[in-house]
Amino acid sequence: MPLTAEQFAPVWERYRCNFMRYLSALSRQAERRAMERLLERGHPRLAMNFAAPLSLLAARPLRLTELADALGASKQLCLQSLKPIEQAGYIERQPDPDDKRARLVTLTSSGEELIQHAFEEMQAIQDDYEARIGAARVRALNDCLRTAAHAIDVPGEGLRSGRGLPLPARLSPLSRTLQERLMTLTARQGHNLQYSFGQVLGAVDINGTAIATLAQLNAVTTQAISRIAGELESLGYIERSTSGNDRRSRHIFFTPRGLELIRDSVTSVQQLGDELSTTLGKKGLLEMEALARQLYEALDLERGLLQSFAPGPDSRLFNGDATMAPSPPSPQTLLLFLAQQIAPELLDRSGDTVSLPSPLSCSADRLGALDRKLTAEQQRTLNQLLSRLAEAE
Protein backbone atom coordinates (compact mmCIF):
# COMPACT_ATOMS: atom_id res chain seq x y z
CA MET A 1 0.00 0.00 0.00
CA PRO A 2 1.43 3.44 -0.95
CA LEU A 3 2.63 5.63 1.89
CA THR A 4 1.37 9.11 2.67
CA ALA A 5 3.89 11.80 3.57
CA GLU A 6 2.64 11.78 7.16
CA GLN A 7 3.09 8.00 7.43
CA PHE A 8 6.53 8.13 5.88
CA ALA A 9 8.05 10.80 8.16
CA PRO A 10 8.61 8.53 11.23
CA VAL A 11 9.70 5.67 8.95
CA TRP A 12 12.38 7.86 7.37
CA GLU A 13 13.62 9.01 10.77
CA ARG A 14 14.06 5.42 11.93
CA TYR A 15 15.75 4.61 8.63
CA ARG A 16 18.24 7.43 9.26
CA CYS A 17 18.91 6.45 12.86
CA ASN A 18 19.28 2.77 13.78
CA PHE A 19 21.96 0.37 15.00
CA MET A 20 22.45 -1.18 11.56
CA ARG A 21 23.34 2.16 10.00
CA TYR A 22 25.80 2.96 12.78
CA LEU A 23 27.55 -0.42 12.69
CA SER A 24 27.75 -0.49 8.89
CA ALA A 25 29.28 2.99 8.73
CA LEU A 26 31.75 2.20 11.52
CA SER A 27 32.78 -1.03 9.81
CA ARG A 28 33.25 0.67 6.44
CA GLN A 29 35.37 3.44 7.94
CA ALA A 30 37.56 1.04 9.96
CA GLU A 31 38.16 -1.17 6.92
CA ARG A 32 39.16 1.79 4.80
CA ARG A 33 41.52 3.23 7.41
CA ALA A 34 43.20 -0.12 7.97
CA MET A 35 43.52 -0.78 4.24
CA GLU A 36 45.18 2.59 3.63
CA ARG A 37 47.69 2.02 6.41
CA LEU A 38 48.50 -1.53 5.30
CA LEU A 39 49.18 -0.31 1.78
CA GLU A 40 51.56 2.27 3.24
CA ARG A 41 53.30 -0.48 5.22
CA GLY A 42 54.17 -2.48 2.13
CA HIS A 43 51.19 -4.76 1.50
CA PRO A 44 50.11 -3.66 -1.99
CA ARG A 45 48.10 -6.67 -3.16
CA LEU A 46 45.13 -6.43 -0.84
CA ALA A 47 41.36 -6.60 -1.18
CA MET A 48 38.61 -6.19 1.41
CA ASN A 49 37.46 -9.79 0.97
CA PHE A 50 40.85 -11.07 2.16
CA ALA A 51 39.98 -10.12 5.73
CA ALA A 52 37.54 -12.94 6.60
CA PRO A 53 39.69 -15.98 5.65
CA LEU A 54 42.94 -14.40 6.86
CA SER A 55 41.45 -13.55 10.25
CA LEU A 56 40.43 -17.20 10.68
CA LEU A 57 43.78 -18.57 9.54
CA ALA A 58 45.46 -16.29 12.06
CA ALA A 59 44.11 -18.61 14.77
CA ARG A 60 45.54 -21.81 13.25
CA PRO A 61 45.95 -23.66 9.93
CA LEU A 62 42.69 -25.10 8.64
CA ARG A 63 41.62 -27.72 6.15
CA LEU A 64 39.68 -26.34 3.22
CA THR A 65 36.46 -27.94 4.48
CA GLU A 66 36.99 -26.40 7.94
CA LEU A 67 37.64 -22.97 6.46
CA ALA A 68 34.60 -23.21 4.18
CA ASP A 69 32.40 -24.19 7.14
CA ALA A 70 33.79 -21.34 9.24
CA LEU A 71 33.08 -18.87 6.43
CA GLY A 72 29.62 -20.27 5.80
CA ALA A 73 30.51 -20.95 2.15
CA SER A 74 30.68 -23.95 -0.14
CA LYS A 75 34.02 -25.67 -0.63
CA GLN A 76 34.13 -24.56 -4.26
CA LEU A 77 33.34 -20.92 -3.46
CA CYS A 78 35.89 -20.94 -0.64
CA LEU A 79 38.55 -22.30 -2.98
CA GLN A 80 37.82 -19.55 -5.50
CA SER A 81 38.08 -16.85 -2.84
CA LEU A 82 41.45 -18.20 -1.68
CA LYS A 83 43.09 -18.07 -5.11
CA PRO A 84 43.88 -14.32 -5.16
CA ILE A 85 45.12 -14.51 -1.55
CA GLU A 86 47.43 -17.37 -2.47
CA GLN A 87 48.60 -15.53 -5.59
CA ALA A 88 49.40 -12.49 -3.43
CA GLY A 89 51.68 -14.72 -1.34
CA TYR A 90 49.80 -14.56 1.97
CA ILE A 91 48.71 -18.21 2.24
CA GLU A 92 49.87 -21.62 1.05
CA ARG A 93 48.67 -25.22 1.23
CA GLN A 94 50.76 -27.82 3.01
CA PRO A 95 50.29 -31.53 3.81
CA ASP A 96 48.31 -32.21 6.97
CA PRO A 97 50.65 -34.02 9.40
CA ASP A 98 47.64 -35.86 10.87
CA ASP A 99 46.31 -37.05 7.50
CA LYS A 100 48.64 -37.31 4.53
CA ARG A 101 45.67 -37.31 2.14
CA ALA A 102 44.54 -33.88 3.35
CA ARG A 103 46.10 -30.46 3.00
CA LEU A 104 46.08 -27.50 5.35
CA VAL A 105 45.65 -23.87 4.37
CA THR A 106 48.18 -21.88 6.37
CA LEU A 107 49.70 -18.42 6.49
CA THR A 108 53.05 -17.77 4.83
CA SER A 109 55.62 -15.55 6.51
CA SER A 110 54.21 -12.64 4.48
CA GLY A 111 50.74 -13.56 5.68
CA GLU A 112 51.86 -13.65 9.30
CA GLU A 113 53.48 -10.24 8.89
CA LEU A 114 50.28 -8.90 7.33
CA ILE A 115 48.20 -10.22 10.23
CA GLN A 116 50.56 -8.64 12.75
CA HIS A 117 50.45 -5.29 10.97
CA ALA A 118 46.67 -5.50 10.62
CA PHE A 119 46.30 -6.16 14.34
CA GLU A 120 48.52 -3.16 15.10
CA GLU A 121 46.47 -0.92 12.83
CA MET A 122 43.20 -2.14 14.34
CA GLN A 123 44.61 -1.38 17.77
CA ALA A 124 45.60 2.10 16.60
CA ILE A 125 42.05 2.68 15.35
CA GLN A 126 40.72 1.51 18.71
CA ASP A 127 43.07 3.94 20.47
CA ASP A 128 41.48 6.70 18.39
CA TYR A 129 38.02 5.47 19.40
CA GLU A 130 39.01 5.59 23.06
CA ALA A 131 40.34 9.12 22.68
CA ARG A 132 36.99 10.19 21.27
CA ILE A 133 34.43 8.48 23.54
CA GLY A 134 36.51 6.96 26.35
CA ALA A 135 38.01 3.53 26.96
CA ALA A 136 35.08 2.36 29.11
CA ARG A 137 32.53 3.00 26.35
CA VAL A 138 34.72 1.28 23.76
CA ARG A 139 35.06 -1.80 26.00
CA ALA A 140 31.32 -1.82 26.64
CA LEU A 141 30.56 -1.62 22.91
CA ASN A 142 33.06 -4.39 22.17
CA ASP A 143 31.36 -6.59 24.78
CA CYS A 144 27.97 -5.91 23.19
CA LEU A 145 29.28 -6.79 19.74
CA ARG A 146 30.90 -10.00 20.97
CA THR A 147 27.59 -11.08 22.52
CA ALA A 148 25.73 -10.15 19.33
CA ALA A 149 28.23 -12.12 17.22
CA HIS A 150 27.54 -15.26 19.25
CA ALA A 151 23.79 -14.62 19.11
CA ILE A 152 23.61 -14.60 15.30
CA ASP A 153 26.38 -17.16 14.67
CA VAL A 154 28.89 -14.93 12.89
CA PRO A 155 30.98 -17.32 10.75
CA GLY A 156 34.26 -18.20 12.45
CA GLU A 157 33.36 -16.51 15.73
CA GLY A 158 34.35 -19.64 17.64
CA LEU A 159 37.86 -19.41 16.21
CA ARG A 160 38.11 -15.72 17.06
CA SER A 161 36.60 -15.90 20.53
CA GLY A 162 39.77 -17.00 22.26
CA ARG A 163 41.65 -13.90 21.14
CA GLY A 164 41.27 -10.40 22.49
CA LEU A 165 40.06 -8.66 19.36
CA PRO A 166 40.10 -4.87 19.12
CA LEU A 167 36.68 -3.38 18.46
CA PRO A 168 37.43 -2.47 14.79
CA ALA A 169 38.38 -6.09 14.01
CA ARG A 170 35.04 -7.31 15.37
CA LEU A 171 32.98 -4.79 13.40
CA SER A 172 33.48 -6.15 9.89
CA PRO A 173 32.39 -9.82 10.30
CA LEU A 174 29.48 -8.83 12.52
CA SER A 175 28.29 -6.06 10.20
CA ARG A 176 28.41 -8.33 7.15
CA THR A 177 26.49 -11.12 8.91
CA LEU A 178 23.86 -8.65 10.12
CA GLN A 179 23.50 -7.27 6.60
CA GLU A 180 23.00 -10.75 5.17
CA ARG A 181 20.39 -11.52 7.81
CA LEU A 182 18.67 -8.22 7.07
CA MET A 183 18.54 -9.11 3.37
CA THR A 184 16.89 -12.43 4.23
CA LEU A 185 14.23 -10.70 6.33
CA THR A 186 13.60 -8.08 3.64
CA ALA A 187 13.36 -10.77 0.94
CA ARG A 188 10.44 -12.28 2.84
CA GLN A 189 8.61 -9.02 2.20
CA GLY A 190 9.11 -9.29 -1.55
CA HIS A 191 12.45 -7.55 -2.08
CA ASN A 192 15.13 -9.87 -3.47
CA LEU A 193 18.22 -7.70 -3.18
CA GLN A 194 21.92 -8.27 -3.66
CA TYR A 195 24.53 -7.44 -1.04
CA SER A 196 26.15 -4.86 -3.33
CA PHE A 197 22.88 -2.88 -3.56
CA GLY A 198 23.55 -1.55 -0.07
CA GLN A 199 26.29 0.70 -1.46
CA VAL A 200 23.56 2.70 -3.18
CA LEU A 201 20.30 2.18 -1.30
CA GLY A 202 21.65 2.98 2.15
CA ALA A 203 23.00 6.37 1.11
CA VAL A 204 20.31 7.87 -1.14
CA ASP A 205 18.62 10.89 0.42
CA ILE A 206 14.89 11.48 0.14
CA ASN A 207 15.75 14.51 -2.03
CA GLY A 208 18.22 12.57 -4.18
CA THR A 209 21.97 11.97 -4.02
CA ALA A 210 24.67 12.46 -6.65
CA ILE A 211 26.25 9.32 -8.08
CA ALA A 212 29.66 10.93 -7.49
CA THR A 213 28.83 11.31 -3.78
CA LEU A 214 27.93 7.62 -3.51
CA ALA A 215 31.16 6.63 -5.26
CA GLN A 216 33.24 8.74 -2.88
CA LEU A 217 31.44 7.34 0.16
CA ASN A 218 32.13 3.75 -0.90
CA ALA A 219 35.62 4.41 -2.33
CA VAL A 220 34.64 3.01 -5.72
CA THR A 221 34.28 4.44 -9.22
CA THR A 222 31.20 6.23 -10.49
CA GLN A 223 30.94 3.48 -13.11
CA ALA A 224 30.61 0.87 -10.34
CA ILE A 225 27.81 2.86 -8.69
CA SER A 226 26.12 3.41 -12.06
CA ARG A 227 26.07 -0.34 -12.71
CA ILE A 228 24.34 -0.98 -9.39
CA ALA A 229 21.98 1.94 -9.99
CA GLY A 230 21.04 0.46 -13.36
CA GLU A 231 20.00 -2.80 -11.71
CA LEU A 232 18.01 -0.98 -9.04
CA GLU A 233 16.33 1.17 -11.68
CA SER A 234 15.29 -1.94 -13.62
CA LEU A 235 13.71 -3.26 -10.41
CA GLY A 236 11.77 -0.02 -9.99
CA TYR A 237 13.37 1.19 -6.74
CA ILE A 238 15.18 4.28 -8.00
CA GLU A 239 15.34 6.64 -10.94
CA ARG A 240 18.34 8.49 -12.31
CA SER A 241 18.08 12.10 -13.42
CA THR A 242 20.38 14.96 -14.39
CA SER A 243 20.94 17.55 -11.69
CA GLY A 244 19.45 20.97 -12.22
CA ASN A 245 22.68 22.65 -11.09
CA ASP A 246 25.07 20.70 -13.30
CA ARG A 247 23.85 18.84 -16.38
CA ARG A 248 26.90 16.56 -16.15
CA SER A 249 25.93 15.42 -12.64
CA ARG A 250 23.59 12.43 -12.37
CA HIS A 251 21.49 12.00 -9.25
CA ILE A 252 19.57 9.02 -7.88
CA PHE A 253 16.04 9.42 -6.55
CA PHE A 254 13.68 6.98 -4.87
CA THR A 255 10.47 5.94 -6.61
CA PRO A 256 7.27 5.05 -4.72
CA ARG A 257 8.43 1.42 -4.76
CA GLY A 258 11.72 2.58 -3.30
CA LEU A 259 9.85 4.16 -0.40
CA GLU A 260 8.03 0.88 0.19
CA LEU A 261 11.44 -0.81 0.35
CA ILE A 262 12.55 1.72 2.98
CA ARG A 263 9.42 1.00 5.02
CA ASP A 264 9.96 -2.76 4.76
CA SER A 265 13.67 -2.51 5.56
CA VAL A 266 12.86 -0.55 8.72
CA THR A 267 10.49 -3.37 9.70
CA SER A 268 13.30 -5.86 9.03
CA VAL A 269 15.73 -3.89 11.20
CA GLN A 270 13.16 -4.00 14.00
CA GLN A 271 12.82 -7.78 13.56
CA LEU A 272 16.59 -8.15 13.61
CA GLY A 273 16.72 -6.09 16.78
CA ASP A 274 14.12 -8.38 18.35
CA GLU A 275 16.30 -11.39 17.48
CA LEU A 276 19.36 -9.78 19.06
CA SER A 277 17.44 -8.76 22.16
CA THR A 278 16.76 -12.41 23.00
CA THR A 279 20.48 -12.64 23.85
CA LEU A 280 21.41 -9.04 24.60
CA GLY A 281 18.14 -8.19 26.29
CA LYS A 282 16.21 -5.05 25.38
CA LYS A 283 18.44 -2.97 27.64
CA GLY A 284 21.56 -4.47 26.07
CA LEU A 285 20.30 -3.76 22.54
CA LEU A 286 19.55 -0.16 23.45
CA GLU A 287 23.01 0.14 25.03
CA MET A 288 24.67 -1.23 21.89
CA GLU A 289 22.75 1.20 19.69
CA ALA A 290 23.50 4.16 21.96
CA LEU A 291 27.23 3.37 22.15
CA ALA A 292 27.48 2.78 18.41
CA ARG A 293 25.73 6.09 17.78
CA GLN A 294 28.10 7.93 20.12
CA LEU A 295 31.10 6.61 18.21
CA TYR A 296 29.41 7.21 14.84
CA GLU A 297 28.78 10.84 15.75
CA ALA A 298 32.21 11.32 17.36
CA LEU A 299 33.81 10.20 14.09
CA ASP A 300 31.47 12.54 12.17
CA LEU A 301 30.41 9.76 9.81
CA GLU A 302 27.83 10.41 7.08
CA ARG A 303 27.19 13.98 8.27
CA GLY A 304 24.52 15.53 6.08
CA LEU A 305 24.12 12.37 4.01
CA LEU A 306 20.43 11.81 4.79
CA GLN A 307 18.37 14.89 5.59
CA SER A 308 15.37 14.90 7.90
CA PHE A 309 11.97 14.85 6.23
CA ALA A 310 8.92 16.92 7.07
CA PRO A 311 5.64 16.44 5.16
CA GLY A 312 4.70 19.44 3.05
CA PRO A 313 2.75 20.50 -0.03
CA ASP A 314 5.86 19.96 -2.19
CA SER A 315 6.10 16.26 -1.27
CA ARG A 316 5.45 15.31 -4.89
CA LEU A 317 6.36 11.67 -4.45
CA PHE A 318 3.39 11.25 -2.10
CA ASN A 319 0.95 13.12 -4.35
CA GLY A 320 0.82 10.63 -7.20
CA ASP A 321 3.98 11.61 -9.07
CA ALA A 322 6.04 8.66 -10.25
CA THR A 323 9.32 10.01 -8.97
CA MET A 324 11.03 12.57 -6.81
CA ALA A 325 13.30 13.43 -9.74
CA PRO A 326 13.08 17.14 -10.60
CA SER A 327 10.99 18.19 -13.60
CA PRO A 328 12.18 20.73 -16.18
CA PRO A 329 10.67 24.23 -16.16
CA SER A 330 7.90 24.96 -18.64
CA PRO A 331 8.50 27.21 -21.69
CA GLN A 332 6.28 29.83 -20.03
CA THR A 333 8.52 29.85 -16.96
CA LEU A 334 11.61 30.28 -19.13
CA LEU A 335 10.04 33.19 -21.04
CA LEU A 336 9.01 34.94 -17.83
CA PHE A 337 12.50 34.44 -16.41
CA LEU A 338 14.05 36.09 -19.49
CA ALA A 339 11.51 38.92 -19.32
CA GLN A 340 12.50 39.49 -15.70
CA GLN A 341 16.16 39.85 -16.74
CA ILE A 342 15.42 42.25 -19.60
CA ALA A 343 12.48 44.39 -18.45
CA PRO A 344 11.14 43.42 -15.01
CA GLU A 345 8.72 46.37 -15.11
CA LEU A 346 6.66 44.48 -17.70
CA LEU A 347 5.79 41.75 -15.23
CA ASP A 348 2.63 41.69 -13.17
CA ARG A 349 3.04 40.11 -9.71
CA SER A 350 0.03 38.91 -7.76
CA GLY A 351 0.82 36.89 -4.65
CA ASP A 352 2.97 33.92 -5.72
CA THR A 353 2.07 34.32 -9.40
CA VAL A 354 4.10 36.20 -12.02
CA SER A 355 2.59 36.99 -15.44
CA LEU A 356 2.67 39.33 -18.41
CA PRO A 357 -0.44 41.54 -18.35
CA SER A 358 -0.80 41.47 -22.14
CA PRO A 359 0.50 39.31 -24.99
CA LEU A 360 3.73 40.50 -26.60
CA SER A 361 4.34 40.52 -30.33
CA CYS A 362 6.77 41.86 -32.93
CA SER A 363 7.50 41.44 -36.61
CA ALA A 364 9.41 38.41 -37.79
CA ASP A 365 11.95 40.71 -39.44
CA ARG A 366 12.84 42.41 -36.18
CA LEU A 367 13.19 39.03 -34.46
CA GLY A 368 15.48 37.85 -37.24
CA ALA A 369 17.54 41.02 -36.99
CA LEU A 370 18.26 40.30 -33.35
CA ASP A 371 19.31 36.77 -34.23
CA ARG A 372 21.75 38.09 -36.85
CA LYS A 373 23.41 40.39 -34.32
CA LEU A 374 24.99 37.40 -32.57
CA THR A 375 28.18 35.79 -33.78
CA ALA A 376 28.30 32.01 -34.06
CA GLU A 377 30.25 31.82 -30.77
CA GLN A 378 27.74 34.11 -29.03
CA GLN A 379 24.87 31.99 -30.34
CA ARG A 380 26.52 28.84 -28.95
CA THR A 381 26.98 30.54 -25.59
CA LEU A 382 23.35 31.65 -25.56
CA ASN A 383 22.18 28.15 -26.45
CA GLN A 384 24.29 26.71 -23.62
CA LEU A 385 22.75 29.15 -21.14
CA LEU A 386 19.23 28.38 -22.35
CA SER A 387 19.94 24.65 -22.11
CA ARG A 388 21.11 25.13 -18.54
CA LEU A 389 17.91 27.01 -17.71
CA ALA A 390 15.80 24.29 -19.33
CA GLU A 391 17.25 21.54 -17.12
CA ALA A 392 15.29 19.97 -14.28
CA GLU A 393 14.84 22.28 -11.34
pLDDT tens digit string along 322-358? 455 555 566 777 788 888 888 887 788 776 677 887 7
Choosing from 282, 308, 325, the residue where a domain stops is: 325
Q: Are 133 and 298 in contact (CB under 8 A)?
A: yes
Q: What is the pLDDT of residues 293-329, one digit of tens each?
A: 999 999 999 988 898 888 765 566 665 554 555 555 6
Average pLDDT for 271-279? 95
166 and 23 in one domain? yes
**Prediction pTM value:** 0.76
Residue (of 300, 302, 289, 305) closest to 128 by Cα position: 300
| Structural domain range at position 354 | 331-391
Same domain, 294 and 381: no
Q: Are residues 79 and 196 in the same domain?
A: yes
Number of domains in the chain: 2
Model confidence over 205-228: pLDDT tens digits?
998 899 999 988 888 899 999 999
How confident is residue 359, by pLDDT bands cut at 50, 70 and 90? confident
E strand intervals along the chain: 62-63, 91-96, 99-107, 209-210, 238-242, 250-254, 348-350, 353-355
The whole-angstrom separation of Cα 62 and Cα 53 is 10
Q: What are the counts of helices (DSSP H) followed by strands (DSSP E) for the chain? A: 16, 8
Same domain, 314 and 339: no
* Confidence tier at 152 by pLDDT (50, 70, 90): confident
On whether both 18 and 158 belong to a single domain, the answer is yes
Q: Report which of residues 135 and 325 the model is more confident about.
A: 135
Do 348 and 318 belong together in one domain? no
On whether both 52 and 155 belong to a single domain, the answer is: yes
pLDDT above 50 for 143: yes
Better-predicted residue by pLDDT, 379 or 29: 29
User: Cα(241)–Cα(210) distance, rounded to whole angstroms?
Assistant: 9
